[in-house]
Structure 1
Amino acid sequence: MIRGICAVLGLAVSATTVSAGCADKPEPCEIAGGTYHVVLPEAQSPPVLVFLHGHGGEGAGPISNERLVAPLLARGWAVVAPDGAIRPAGTGKRSWNFFPGWEGRDEAAFLKSVTADAVARFGLDPNRVVLGGFSAGAFMVNYLACATPDAYSAYVPVSGGFWRPQPETCKGPVRLLHTHGWSDPVVPLEGRILGAGRFQQGDIFAGLELWRSVNGCLDHKPDSYSVTGPFQRRVWASCDPGGVIEFALFPGGHMVPEGWADMMVDWYEALGGQ
């Protein structure tokens, strides 16, 4: 029996939202600076995916996504879904303060506090915490992986990279699995211009080039290619110790695709699971 709050909603990300909360409590967990939601498996000291929602969403959204949460719970993983802060400039929408120079919450500190609180409160494994996110949440994941590669045991963004100008360099090495839809119109592989030219989403392949440099990979060419279900996978593993980059492309748009959770867990376990 699964502890926590989870419901079968079908496969669409936009399926009807159900109540999420603080494990068996309907209200989200509260800490200084914000709130988060969590669902727990029956396993003791489980690994955990901390997953960041997209722009305008909230942590209850990922928790309500069956194709994300159900496979993880079935494999003994906990899922923690923090709430983004209300963005300034009167938008009234939650998102993440990822771009250098933006004002707002210190997301690195907030997410560190979320992780520490969840580990202490629910007995999660502090050595097996993976940071993932979708869309704006995935941009946040990339910037945190760039600045604090040792803060989490791996980084798994879906449908988000860097904005232009992207960082000139990052700390490293890092273990990163980037997943992206071939026909994503919201975060295209080539990037796009937003806000009448004020902002530009970056080119995903330029971001991968930066990650290869940061990780000290020996060649631009992937070390291996494979296909898992709908995912066309490219791996750079001949890199500095502790560094590996994988790019998984799927034939779809702006979404967390079906099968992603199992692929992510398989990838993580193949790295040694910590």
Structure 2
Amino acid sequence: VSTRFYAPILVCMMLVASGLPGSEQEEIEELGDRRWTDSNDGYGPINYTNEHTTAMIESEGRPATLTMPGGHVYNQPLPLVVALHGYSSSGSFNAWWMSLYDSVHENEHLLLTPDGSMNIIGMRYWNATDACCNLFNTEMDDVTFLEGLISQAVQNYGADPEGVVLIGHSNGAFMSHRMACDRGSIIESIVSLNGATWDDFSNDCPDTGRPNILHVHGTVDSVIEYGGGSMFGGTYPSAPQS
């Protein structure tokens, strides 16, 4: 795999270094002025354009948008980045905030931006661990949902099955850890930004595969604490333990 595969991870690390926003409540309604860059830089076998193409795919009756660099040929696999938003946010806002739309062209990968389910107070969430963030104990199988989306991207849109990276923030970071536990065999790497895994790791995390994990956490985070804590009746481990 090319070193360009890891560029989205470096993007995330630079974003963390520059400081995470204090709230995810704000939504950007207009994402129309995305800045696309030309990636005709000789890295890939295809002469990609600076236009993007999108496809709507579906799993478990829930849609998600797959963004691809212009000129992507499905029989020429590219890495797949799955962006998992935080509580109350959305896939599109999360990807915009992390500059992942630009990264599609600059680093030549596919980008999947799913949304979590909407709870009864109108907030999107992922049913990740017992600590975050299924507030109302709704039966929602997000693992199967994400697995289905990844499978479609691989089978139908030229995503590299050996190049699947999950990048999650906050509740999305918890979900990336959940996927590493439950579907580790289909994931190459996860990037967890200010989230955590299961507190009772040995019992709650089945060994389905061992993807690479990059865990990044702010030491003064007062919501998901660096040293571990509890939320919604569940506990989560410290960042070093995660």
Please give the TM-score of this superposition, normalised by the length of structure 2. Answer: 0.66
Cα distance between partner residues in 2 of 1:119 and 1:113: 10
Aligned to 1:192: 229
TM-aligned CA distance change 1:126 to 1:163, over 3 Å: closer
The range that moved more, 123-132 or 66-75, is: 66-75
Cα distance between partner residues in 2 of 1:68 and 1:79: 8
The sequence identity of aligned pairs, in percent, is: 25
Q: Secondary structure at the match of 1:47?
A: strand
Q: 1:115-264 alignment to 2 at 5 Å? A: 115-168=150-203, 170-171=206-207, 172-195=209-232, 198-207=233-242
TM-aligned CA distance change 1:173 to 1:32, over 3 Å: closer
Aligned to 1:18: 30
Cα distance between partner residues in 1 of 2:202 and 2:125: 20
TM-aligned CA distance change 1:120 to 1:18, over 3 Å: farther
Q: How many residues align?
A: 191
TM-aligned CA distance change 1:15 to 1:108, over 3 Å: closer
The range that moved more, 76-85 or 99-108, is: 99-108
Report the Cα offset of residue 146 of structure 1.
1.7
Q: 1:56-71 alignment to 2 at 5 Å? A: 56-65=88-97, 67-71=99-103
Aligned to 1:224: none
Cα distance between partner residues in 1 of 2:67 and 2:231: 35
Which of 141, 145, 151 pairs up with 1:106?
141
Report the Cα offset of residue 170 of structure 1.
4.1
Cα distance between partner residues in 2 of 1:31 and 1:146: 20
TM-aligned CA distance change 1:144 to 1:124, over 3 Å: closer
Q: Which runs of 5+ in 2 are unaligned?
A: 1-17, 33-51
TM-aligned CA distance change 1:138 to 1:66, over 3 Å: closer
TM-aligned CA distance change 1:78 to 1:18, over 3 Å: farther
Cα distance between partner residues in 2 of 1:157 and 1:78: 19
1:112-144 deviation digits (Å, cap 9, x = unpaired): 111122334432223311122111011011122
Aligned to 1:54: 86
TM-aligned CA distance change 1:115 to 1:173, over 3 Å: closer
Q: Which runs of 5+ in 1 are unaligned?
A: 1-10, 208-274
Report the Cα offset of residue 106 of structure 1.
1.5
Aligned to 1:259: none
Please give the TM-score of this superposition, normalised by the length of structure 1. Answer: 0.59
Q: Are the equivalent residues in 2 in contact too, given 1:38–1:63 (CA < 8 A)?
A: no
Cα distance between partner residues in 2 of 1:188 and 1:105: 26
Aligned to 2:15: none
Which of 80, 83, 89 pairs up with 2:115?
83
